[in-house]
């Protein structure tokens, strides 16, 4: 399928002040919140160089965890160079540094501001998208997130995310309702063709925030560099702390169902285009 999208740059130019832990920057302005409410996404600065290096070291640790652990989940895809790790999830019970990063401080503060309510972590994952790694079909996250209709997710870039290595593309201003889906739970081709898609390059340490109904997609990694990213998702605490229930539901559905033929199953919808290893 031919991919056509504009490339957009940083929209967040807030005057940031205040104190934060070393390696992490401050939160959002009213203009940032207005941009998010209007477009369904927002690009912010999050980690400085030292913070990026620390996060990379954590990702190296997590990638070395055994495939069969005490609750975390590793997913693998088949590339032309052989099997590669494509996703890890359910991580914070086993990594205190990552737990602190995504449940305290600036990330939870920004999530709360964008939700206009105190936020709580709903789920977390790392997408690795190593060289040769597959992309994701156009979709909205909401159908894959049971229990609550509205969430806010973010992509904390561990490596620079570029058009060459499969950065995200978003459709602005389309987050008010669920769009028509096909049998895989992804957006139908007719709707995809009607939307304006914008490439959003993200530098390591920046964060791309997006609503759970913001349409997004990404291409394969056609470069020789990884495109790793941390993805926490948040919901309003008043709607419940449902992280445990989410993972219980996911494990149960994975045990009961199968991926589309030849594809890796990493989600409750069939957005990932990676080939099955087995």
DSSP for 242-260 reads -HHHHHHHHHHHHHH--PS
- Residue 115, H or E segment: helix 106-115
Is 142 within a domain? Answer: yes
Q: What is the DSSP string of the chain?
A: -----EE----------S---TTB-----HHHHHHHHHHSEEEEE-B-HHHHHHHHHHHHHHHTS-SB-SS-EEEEEEETTEEEEEEEES-GGG-HHHHHHHHSTHHHHHHHHHHTS-EEEEEEEEE---TT---EEEE-SGGGS-S-S--EEEEEESS-B-TTTT-EEE-TT--SSPPPB-TTSSBPHHHHHHSPPEE--B-TTEEEEEETTS-EEE----SSS---EEEEEEEEGGG---HHHHHHHHHHHHHH--PSTTB---SSSS-B-PBP--
Region of 249 (left: φ > 0; alpha: ψ -120 to 50; beta: rest) is: alpha
Among the residue ranges 19-33, 35-49, 176-190, the one predicted with the least confidence is 19-33
User: Per-residue pLDDT tens for 265-275?
Assistant: 999 999 999 99
**Confidence bin at 9 (pLDDT 50/70/90):** very low
User: Per-residue pLDDT tens for 58-115?
Assistant: 999 999 999 877 899 999 999 999 999 999 999 999 999 999 999 999 999 999 999 9
**Confidence bin at 223 (pLDDT 50/70/90):** very high
Is 48 within a domain? Answer: yes
Mean pLDDT of 226-235: 98
- Separation CA 170–CA 136 (nearest Å): 12
| Tally of domains in the chain | 1
Mean pLDDT of 177-204: 97
The reported pLDDT for the residue numbered 5 is 60
Is 65 within a domain? Answer: yes
Helices and strands counted in the chain (H then E): 6, 12
User: Per-residue pLDDT tens for 139-183?
Assistant: 999 999 999 888 999 999 999 999 999 999 999 999 999 999 999
Residue 55's domain comprises 6-12+20-256
Is 277 within a domain? Answer: no
Is 151 within a domain? Answer: yes
Is 269 within a domain? Answer: no
Is 203 within a domain? Answer: yes
Is 278 within a domain? Answer: no
Instruction: For Cα atoms 169, 182, 236, give the angle at the middle one, nearest 5 degrees.
Output: 60
The reported pLDDT for the residue numbered 278 is 75
Residue 38 has pLDDT above 80, yes or no: yes
CATH code: domain of residue 130: 2.60.120.620
CA torsion sign for 94, 161, 1, 211 is positive
**Confidence bin at 260 (pLDDT 50/70/90):** confident
């Amino acid at each position: 399928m031919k991919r056509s999208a504009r490339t957009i740059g940083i929209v967040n130019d807030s005057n940031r002040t205040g104190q934060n832990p070393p390696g992490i920057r401050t939160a959002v302005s009213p203009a940032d919140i207005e941009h998010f409410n209007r477009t369904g996404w927002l690009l912010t600065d999050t980690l400085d160089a030292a913070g990026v290096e620390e996060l990379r070291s954590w990702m190296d640790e997590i990638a070395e965890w055994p495939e069969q652990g005490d609750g975390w989940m590793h997913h693998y895809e088949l590339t032309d160079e052989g099997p590669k790790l494509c996703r890890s999830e359910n991580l914070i019970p086993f990594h205190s540094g990552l737990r602190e990063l995504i449940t305290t401080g600036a990330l939870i503060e920004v999530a709360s501001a964008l939700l206009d309510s105190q936020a709580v972590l709903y789920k977390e994952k790392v997408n690795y998208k190593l060289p040769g790694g597959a992309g994701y079909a156009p979709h909205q996250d909401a159908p894959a997130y049971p229990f609550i209709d509205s969430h806010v997710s973010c992509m904390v870039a561990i490596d620079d995310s570029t058009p060459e290595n499969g950065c995200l593309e978003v459709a602005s201003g389309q987050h008010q309702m669920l769009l028509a889906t096909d049998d895989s739970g992804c957006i139908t081709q007719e709707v995809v063709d009607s939307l304006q898609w914008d490439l959003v390059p993200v530098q390591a340490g920046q964060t791309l925030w997006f609503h759970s109904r913001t349409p997004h997609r990404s291409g394969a990694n056609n470069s020789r560099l990884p495109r790793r990213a941390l993805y926490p998702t948040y919901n309003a605490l008043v709607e419940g702390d449902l992280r445990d229930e989410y993972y219980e539901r996911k494990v149960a559905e994975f045990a009961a169902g199968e991926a589309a033929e030849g594809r890796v199953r990493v989600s409750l919808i069939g957005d990932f285009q990676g080939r099955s290893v087995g």
